Amino acid sequence: MRMGSSQGAAAVALAALCGAAWAADKAPREPLGLPKIEWPKDNRYSAAKAELGRDLYYDKRLSADETISCATCHSPQFGFTDGAPVSTGIRGQKGGRSAPTVINRAFSLAQFWDGRAVTLEEQAKGPIANPIEMGNTHDAVVATLRRIPGYPPLFATAFGSDQIDIDRVALAIATFERTILSGDSPYDRYKKGDKKALTPEQVRGMSVFFDKAKCDRCHENTNFTLNAYNNIGIGMDKPNPDLGRYVITKDPRDWGVFKVPTLRDIEHTAPYMHDGRLKTLEEVVDYYDKGGIPNQNLDANIKKLNLTEQEKKDLVAFLKALSGEGWQQAQPPAQLPQ
């Protein structure tokens, strides 16, 4: 039976997990190119909490039929997505949207494609009770965890008492998710001064990205997203399109808009767009080059780019230069609490 470990042991485990310098209550160092994580005042980092969150993240017992975990739809095997156009939940049910990556979610201002969850903690609760995803209830999850002898000691180490409730479950999962980072990419090293970090093709692609295509109008800053929402036309040619954030806010300005994702490690998170319709980065570039799908609320920045075939290849090469280090080490625990 696995019981609770000391904070020191948890720190050692997390050091092996993330390949970073950890201390018992010291947050991991951000890889090159990333800003400092602003940990919530009501959910400060601790290694014990992150270790508990990792267990919960990978534990299928949180779902109603014990077949689905957070990692089912957000797996390191697929850049913390599931590699599918739309996700599959309990009893083989299909969702309506592609699973966004967890990578660098620490820098995201809101969660889900439509931004309906303000925090990672709030987001962590959603799939558990979603009838299509994990199909459980928060009360049932808490009851399940209380029945597993290995979990109360871990909650005690992380929170100071062995009380288990859905808020603590969410706090722990969100803490772990904030440690899933990607930085120190060839682009970051190039910006730091290593002019050999990028190939000539990637350097040309960087010029296309920032100068000709002006992709940074939406994919800006160190995480390559403004955390804003845009209508780029995806799905707007359907008879009953997914209206995105408009469903949440009812604001006409939000008709058909979706959150702009990070481009960090974009080559590992295919397929692309909120409905997963584009299989490759080449298809993504072609889509933008054509100016998207016209509709009543198409973003003003979405226009035909008239890129040459070489510029398209260069742009794809540059996007691959945004693949970094850190998240690859966030693998499942050797054994879940029993």
**CA-wise closest residue to 100 among 88, 83, 117:** 83
Whether the per-residue pLDDT at 105 is higher than 60: the answer is yes
Mean pLDDT is lowest, of 63-67, 252-256, 330-334, for: 330-334
Beta strand extents in 222-324 (DSSP E only) = 229-230, 258-259
Q: What percentage of residues in the chain have a pLDDT greater than 70?
A: 93
Q: How is the chain split into domains, by residue range?
A: 7-182, 184-325
At 27 the pLDDT is 83
At 51 the pLDDT is 97
Q: What is the CATH architecture assignment of 7-182?
A: Orthogonal Bundle (1.10)
Q: Which residue has the higher pLDDT, 2 or 80?
A: 80
At 24 the pLDDT is 52
CB atoms within 10 A of CB 67: 16
Q: pLDDT tens digits for 62-72?
A: 999 999 999 99
Q: Which residue do the tokens 């020191």 mark? A: 8
Q: How far is CA 155 from the centre of its chain?
A: 25
At 28 the pLDDT is 83
At 12 the pLDDT is 39
At 134 the pLDDT is 98
**CA-wise closest residue to 111 among 262, 319, 295:** 262
At 111 the pLDDT is 96
Whether the per-residue pLDDT at 11 is higher than 70: the answer is no
Quote the pTM value. 0.91
Q: pLDDT tens digits for 144-178?
A: 999 999 999 999 999 999 999 999 999 999 999 99
At 168 the pLDDT is 98
Whether the per-residue pLDDT at 15 is higher than 80: the answer is no
Half-sphere exposure of 211 (CA within 13 A, CB side): 7
pLDDT band with cut points at 50, 70 and 90 for residue 17: very low
SS3 278: strand
SS3 94: strand
Active site residue 133: yes
CATH number attached to the domain at 184-325: 1.10.760.10
Q: Which residue has the higher pLDDT, 226 or 171?
A: 171
Mean pLDDT of the chain: 93
Q: Judge whether 7-182 and 184-325 match in fold.
A: yes
Whether the per-residue pLDDT at 276 is higher than 80: the answer is yes
At 26 the pLDDT is 80
Cα–Cα distance between 215 and 281 in angstroms, integer? 14
Whether the per-residue pLDDT at 18 is higher than 50: the answer is no
Cα–Cα distance between 276 and 83 in angstroms, integer? 9
At 173 the pLDDT is 98
User: For residues 142-170, b (16+ Cβ closer than 10 Å) or e, as one string?
Assistant: bebbeebebbbbbbbbbbeeeebbbbbbb
At 284 the pLDDT is 98
The one catalytic residue in 30, 51, 121, 133 is 133
Whether the per-residue pLDDT at 110 is higher than 80: the answer is yes
